[in-house]
Structure 1
Amino acid sequence: MGGGMVRALAGVNLEIRQGEFIAITGPSGSGKSTAMNIIGCLDRPSSGSFRFLGVEVGKLTQDQRALLRRNYIGFVFQGFNLLNRTTAIENVELPLIYRGMARHERRQRAAEALALVGLAGREHHTPGELSGGQQQRVAIARAIVTDPLLLLADEPTGNLDTQRSHEIMELLTRLNAGRGITVVMVTHEPDMAAYANRMIHFVDGRIASDGVRAAA
């Protein structure tokens, strides 16, 4: 920035194991979003190494990283990022269109994903006809319709009230426990982070703490 250098991440050593549910917390500017972007193969680190399933991501081309994201990673954002003029099922189908899947098969897969998140019967509603919690469920269905190994959630409850937030967290917990999807979530909210099995706290681009939550 200007004449100075900002280290978004500095000396971070992190391993994520398959099947974990991780909450990444920390103040604004602590590096958690940068970490999320690297884990999601959106950004490449300027130094060091990041491996996904043993593959050195920094050595992949842009197209290869796109294929990795398409085949292995689902993304859920705070702002839902739904297409307003298309129905819930059409929003969920979108990643399958990029895969070149036939219309009948992708329509069936999208309907199954919507049923899994509790939205059976809402397939033909547009985002404007759904509540905020329902829109986030559509976004989660879109993220899991490709059967990803990893689900990245960036402030998934940031735009929701308390009740809807807990409903979304319970859904993510079920997807993690029932389907074995690894979940990595960035959040500012301690009560949302408490759903995770492991909590990682960033401060000034470094990991200040990394611990496994004790079983209830």
Structure 2
Amino acid sequence: MIELKNITRIYSTGGAEVRALDGIDMTIENGEFVAVMGSSGSGKSTTMNILGCLDAPSSGSYLFEGLEVTSLSRSQKARLRRRYLGFVFQGFNLLSRTTALENVELPLVYRGLGKKERRNMAYAALDKVGLADRAMHTTTEMSGGQQQRVAIARAIVCNPFLLLADEPTGNLDSARSNEIMQLLTSLQAEHGITVVMVTHEPEMALWASRTIEFRDGKIIKEGH
């Protein structure tokens, strides 16, 4: 599904160059669950931003399902994000005082779908994460684990090929973290969604089928 070839990302700050990524190569197969690890500044978040078409490499090649992403225009990248990618964040990024159903419907509004179709798809996504019975509850009436489930439902409502999860358990206790990891692995195993997760927690990385570790803009270790 994904192939990164000799990817570099250089930022200019205060007249100095910072090499966030230094010629990385990475391949991710369809249906894999990959954990990306590394300390702050290692390059893992920059890699996730490039995979999510939120940032562009300074050089190198990014192939998504055989398509050269680096040659796409900004609007083409936006369409790729909407159609093929789902995003889950540490901070949930949900609309407060808004129901779970309305939060999950939001990506479908941007796709121009009608109200009935949006509602049916949003209910189906909430059912996948075990929250169909909480659809009409606001996010302020939910626990942190439930809010993250709503965020995951929102990420999968458009049936993405790739789910990018950035520290999805970072704001949760260990019990809720394990619930979220069980959910992500079931989405990968039962629905064939490819999952790439950034985490700094080794115990969370153990849920993945493969771990990629970054240091100083390079991949230093890969393992199953």
Report the TM-score, using the length of structure 2 for normalisation: 0.93
- C-alpha deviation, 1:57, in angstroms: 1.0
2: distance between equivalents of 1:126 and 1:116? 18
**Where do 1:1-216 residues align within 5 Å?**
1-212=13-224
2: distance between equivalents of 1:170 and 1:121? 19
- C-alpha deviation, 1:85, in angstroms: 2.4
- C-alpha deviation, 1:86, in angstroms: 1.3
2: distance between equivalents of 1:152 and 1:170? 16
- C-alpha deviation, 1:3, in angstroms: 2.6
Identity over the aligned pairs, expressed in percent? 66
2: distance between equivalents of 1:136 and 1:130? 10
Q: Which amino acid aligns with 1:82?
A: L
Corresponding residue SS for 1:29? coil
Higher relative contact order (CA 8 A, sep 6+): 1
Answer 1 or 2: which has greater strand percent: 2
Q: Which amino acid aligns with 1:72?
A: Y
What is the count of residue pairs matched by the alignment? 212
Quote the RMSD (CA, aligned, Å).
0.7
Q: Deviations over 1:164-191 (max 9, x none)?
A: 0000000000000000000000000001
Corresponding residue SS for 2:133? coil
- C-alpha deviation, 1:65, in angstroms: 0.3
1: distance between equivalents of 2:212 and 2:148? 24
Question: What are structure 1's unaligned runs of at least 5 residues?
Answer: none
Corresponding residue SS for 1:105? helix
Corresponding residue SS for 1:13? strand
2: distance between equivalents of 1:163 and 1:189? 14
2: distance between equivalents of 1:104 and 1:80? 25
Which ranges of 4 or more aligned residues in structure 1 deviate by more than 3 Å? none
